[in-house]
Amino acid sequence: MTKLTVAALQLAFTEDTQRNIANVSDLVREAAGKGARVVLPPELFQGPYFCRTQNENNFATARVMAEHPSVIAMQKLADELNLWIPTSYFELDGHHHYNSLAMIGPDGKIAGNYRKSHIPDGPGYQEKFYFRPGNTGFKVWPVAGDFGATTLGVGICWDQWYPEVARSMMLMGAQILFYPTAIGTEPHDPDLDTSRLWRRAMIGHAVSNVVPIVAANRIGTEGGQRFYGHSFICDERGDLLAEFGADETGVLVAELDLDLARKHRAAFGFFRDRRPELYGRLVEDV
């Protein structure tokens, strides 16, 4: 029987990188103490969400994966606590910059690197100024332990709005989907609250792929932009197992019954009844 306990972290961040990483580390320890074996921090937790504006000074905070302070700190924790930690970071690769994720395993080693595929560009989310579109393709990672064996899929923030991303990872064998996030108010429209849409989009992926989902967002106000939290864990039916509101700091933990999810997935027949020969339009330009 494969039952895996997972966790999502929710917290605010400041300009103090060391303090941010220490705060994340404290919550990782708390999650491990509650039995979590995979712990998901929010997107780009090294500091404030710098992509709100275009400022060339921010490029100085990028590092190669092996030298990034967020990655190094999570490697030590993963090794010490026997965890998988999908770790978001600002990656430097030669002259290029990526919004990336290092999948860190229980031995502290990096199982692989994923570069965010979909890069947003709009008021408050000007990521195209900083990041090249990812060139890794979507990634999944087989994991095993005393909980059994399963496969984790991870998308980063804007990726989470695309049903193609979730379905692609499922076709690659994913049995849980994780989404580290930095999202909040929309500066161009103060009356637009996307927190409900944000959740619904991912819960839709859960239902249409019959897969549990873990989403971790930041909170707090940065430069007048408020990040709205609402991190959650849902099961393969889209039912919420654990959730935060807009202001809580802490750890969400839930046990996922992956054998039950697999049985439900087979019974729904969504993958049995696929018609790939009809989907060519999906890979054509608009």
Token pair belonging to 195: 């927190």
- Residue 264, pLDDT score: 97
Nearest to 51 by CA among 149, 134, 124, 118: 124
pLDDT digits (tens, 9 = 90+) for 273-282: 999 999 999 9
Contact assessment for residue 140 and residue 151, using Cβ atoms and an 8 Å cutoff: yes
Token match 């709205």: residue?
228
Q: From the CB of residue 279, how many other CB atoms can be counted at a distance below 10 Å?
A: 11
pLDDT over 90 (residue 45)? yes
pLDDT for the residue 193 = 86
The CA-atom distances, in angstroms, between 199 and each of 146, 181, 217, 228, 263 are 31, 12, 11, 11, 25
Is residue 76 annotated as a catalytic residue, yes or no?
no
For the chain, give me the number of helices (H) and strands (E)? 5, 16
The answer to whether 138 and 168 are in contact (CB under 8 A) is yes
The size of the chain, in residues, is 286
For the segment 104-122, what is each residue's pLDDT rounded down to a tens digit?
A: 999 999 999 999 999 999 9
- pLDDT for 146 equals 87
In tens, the pLDDT along 263-273 reads 999 999 999 99
DSSP class of residue 206 equals H
Burial 209-246 (b: 16+ CB within 10 A, else e): bbbbbbbbbbbbebeebebbbbbbbbbbebeebbbbee
pLDDT of residue 2: 86
| pLDDT over 90 (residue 16) | yes
Cα distances (angstroms) measured from residue 69 to each of 22, 56, 154, 251: 11, 20, 21, 22
| Cβ atoms of 7 and 253 closer than 8 Å | yes
Query: What is the Cα gyration radius of the chain?
Result: 18
Catalytic (active site) residue 157: yes
The confidence band for 1, taking pLDDT boundaries of 50, 70 and 90, is low
d(CA 281, CA 286): 9
Work out the mean pLDDT of the chain and round it to a whole number. Answer: 97
Which is the catalytic residue, given 51, 91, 116, 243?
116
Place 89 in a pLDDT band, splitting at 50, 70 and 90: very high
| Whole-number Å distance between alpha carbons of 162 and 268 | 21
Q: Give the mean model confidence (pLDDT) for residues 165-175.
A: 98
C-alpha distances (whole Å) from 214 to each of 12, 160, 236, 253 are 18, 11, 11, 10
Distance of CA 131 to the CA centre of its chain: 17
Over the stretch 183-234, which tens digit does the pLDDT of each residue have?
Answer: 999 888 888 889 999 999 999 999 999 999 999 999 999 999 999 999 999 9
Catalytic residue among 51, 91, 139, 157: 157
Q: What percent of the chain has pLDDT over 70?
A: 100
Distance between the two ends of the chain, CA-based, in angstroms? 44
For the question of residue 109 being annotated catalytic, the response is: no
- The model's confidence at residue 101, banded by pLDDT at 50, 70 and 90, is very high
Determine the average pLDDT of the residues in 152-175: 98
Stretch 157-166: mean pLDDT, rounded?
Answer: 98
